[in-house]
């Protein structure tokens, strides 16, 4: 017969969670633009609010799903792409003219951007009411800040850091601590499954991207080079940690001595400046933050969690006459109450 004393002795209490046990880091513009482009939600006044509504829906979903102890929303700062555009003027150049929406609501790119910026600032107003933190720093892209947070998480006592973004650049950061949730694929990439997705170690992924380029960033790769050739000719990328661009160059240089050389090797050497530039532009493991900027971000990560301002949030909803974020707003807000009880 089991005695109560034995049960009490065997009972293990769940240890209290600490503020940075699990940091949820959200690539804000990635989430906002995706919502803005896909959701046609309109308020009673006939104004498009898809970006705002979709962002809040997505935020509620990932907060409920991952149950973090801290949520950090990271925005691109004003002139955030300037440093990279100084390296390569073509970096993201196509975004200045390409449309975000494709269903005829906005007559011009300028009108579309005005609406997007308006929804961006209104989204920030709503977020100010929630127990989360926002970071936006001039001349820094969200990628730089998120990369820094990820690397600091891996080097500190943070148990888990989840990045929410459909940008594949973040996959290079996956390790024992850092995981990436891709909303479009609805998939979580961890150290256990990332190799199957990338076919190389995550820490070597940027070498592959430097060779292939990235259309989303308007970065051209080596013409005629594909992932199959990369894997067959540079196998160290698959399973050898810390494989660098130097290894790729050395393999190509050695192949030049072969009379039956494949055309792709001299082509890689010829376009090597482009490859190195691509690597620098997409590398998130080496931070571009100044000492002062790093101190600011670390300060945010050590601050207490803000209070949930339910009344202010509901007044925003009423003022904007927005419906459809959730069937039960109070229940939606419950997703965030747990953040205010973390030790």
Q: Is residue 17 part of a domain?
A: no
CB 112 within 8 A of CB 260: no
Same domain for 88 and 142?
yes
214-236 average pLDDT score: 95
Model-level pTM? Answer: 0.92
Other CB atoms within 10 Å distance of the CB of residue 61: 15
Same domain for 265 and 297?
no
Dist CA 217 CA 204 (whole Å): 19
Same domain for 111 and 145?
yes
**CATH number, domain at 123?**
3.40.50.1010
**Could you tell me which residues are beta bridge partners of residue 26?**
73, 164
Q: Is residue 74 part of a domain?
A: yes
Computed over every residue of the chain, the mean pLDDT equals: 91
291-297 average pLDDT score: 95
Same domain for 278 and 295?
no
The model's pLDDT over 175-210, given as tens digits with 9 standing for 90+, comes to: 999 999 999 999 999 999 999 999 999 999 999 999
Q: Is residue 8 part of a domain?
A: no
Q: Is residue 239 part of a domain?
A: yes
C-alpha distance from residue 47 to each of 52, 58, 106 (Å): 11, 20, 11
Same domain for 214 and 168?
no
**CATH number, domain at 275?**
1.10.150.20
pLDDT at 11: 47
Whose tokens are 């691109």? That residue is 76
pLDDT at 290: 92
Same domain for 187 and 294?
yes
Here the tokens at position 245 are 């661009």
Same domain for 215 and 188?
no
pLDDT at 85: 86
The model's pLDDT over 64-122, given as tens digits with 9 standing for 90+, comes to: 999 999 999 999 999 887 888 889 888 988 887 888 988 888 999 999 999 999 999 99
Dist CA 28 CA 136 (whole Å): 10
Domain count along the chain: 2
Q: Is the pLDDT of residue 157 over 60?
A: yes
Q: Is the pLDDT of residue 8 over 80?
A: no
**% of the chain with per-residue pLDDT over 90:** 73
CA terminus-to-terminus distance, the chain: 38
Same domain for 96 and 180?
yes
- Structural domain of residue 152, as residue ranges? 22-198+290-329
Q: Is residue 2 part of a domain?
A: no
Instruction: Indicate the Cα dihedral angle 50, 54, 56, 58, nearest 10°.
Output: -170
The model's pLDDT over 298-308, given as tens digits with 9 standing for 90+, comes to: 999 999 999 99
> Which run of H or of E encompasses 124?
helix 109-127
Same domain for 174 and 54?
yes
Q: Is the pLDDT of residue 5 over 70?
A: no
The model's pLDDT over 254-269, given as tens digits with 9 standing for 90+, comes to: 998 877 778 999 999 9
**Could you tell me which residues are beta bridge partners of residue 43?**
none
Dist CA 30 CA 40 (whole Å): 17
Q: Is residue 153 part of a domain?
A: yes
């Amino acid at each position: 017969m089991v005695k109560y004393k034995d049960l009490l002795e065997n009972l293990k209490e769940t240890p209290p969670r600490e503020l940075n046990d699990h940091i949820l880091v959200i690539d804000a513009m990635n989430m906002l633009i995706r919502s803005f482009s896909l959701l046609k939600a309109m308020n009673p006044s006939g104004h498009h609010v898809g970006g705002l509504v979709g962002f809040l829906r997505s935020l509620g979903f990932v907060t409920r799903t991952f149950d973090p102890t801290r949520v950090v929303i990271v925005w691109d700062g004003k002139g955030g792409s300037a440093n990279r555009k100084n390296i390569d003027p073509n970096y993201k150049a196509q975004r200045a003219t390409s449309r975000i929406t494709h269903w005829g609501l906005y007559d011009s790119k300028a009108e579309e951007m005005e609406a997007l910026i308006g929804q961006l600032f209104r989204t920030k107003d709503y977020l100010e009411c929630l127990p989360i933190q926002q970071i936006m720093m001039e001349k820094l892209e969200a990628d730089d800040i998120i990369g820094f947070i990820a690397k600091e998480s891996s080097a500190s006592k943070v148990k888990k850091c989840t990045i929410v973004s459909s940008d594949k650049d973040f996959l290079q950061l996956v390790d024992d601590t850092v995981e990436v949730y891709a909303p479009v694929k609805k998939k979580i990439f961890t150290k256990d499954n990332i190799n199957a997705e990338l076919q190389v170690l995550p820490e070597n992924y940027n070498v592959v991207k430097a060779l292939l380029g990235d259309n989303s960033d308007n970065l051209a790769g080596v013409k005629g080079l594909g992932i199959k050739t990369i894997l067959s000719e540079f196998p160290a990328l698959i399973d050898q940690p810390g494989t660098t661009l130097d290894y790729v160059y050395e393999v190509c240089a050695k192949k030049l001595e072969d009379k039956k050389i494949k055309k792709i090797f001299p082509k890689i050497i010829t376009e090597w400046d482009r490859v190195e530039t691509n690597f620098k532009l997409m590398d998130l493991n080496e931070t571009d933050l100044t000492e002062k900027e790093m101190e600011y971000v670390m300060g945010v990560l050590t601050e207490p969690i803000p209070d949930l301002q339910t009344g202010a949030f509901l007044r925003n909803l009423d003022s904007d006459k927005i419906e459809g974020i959730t069937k039960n707003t109070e229940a939606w807000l419950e997703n965030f109450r747990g953040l205010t009880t973390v030790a």
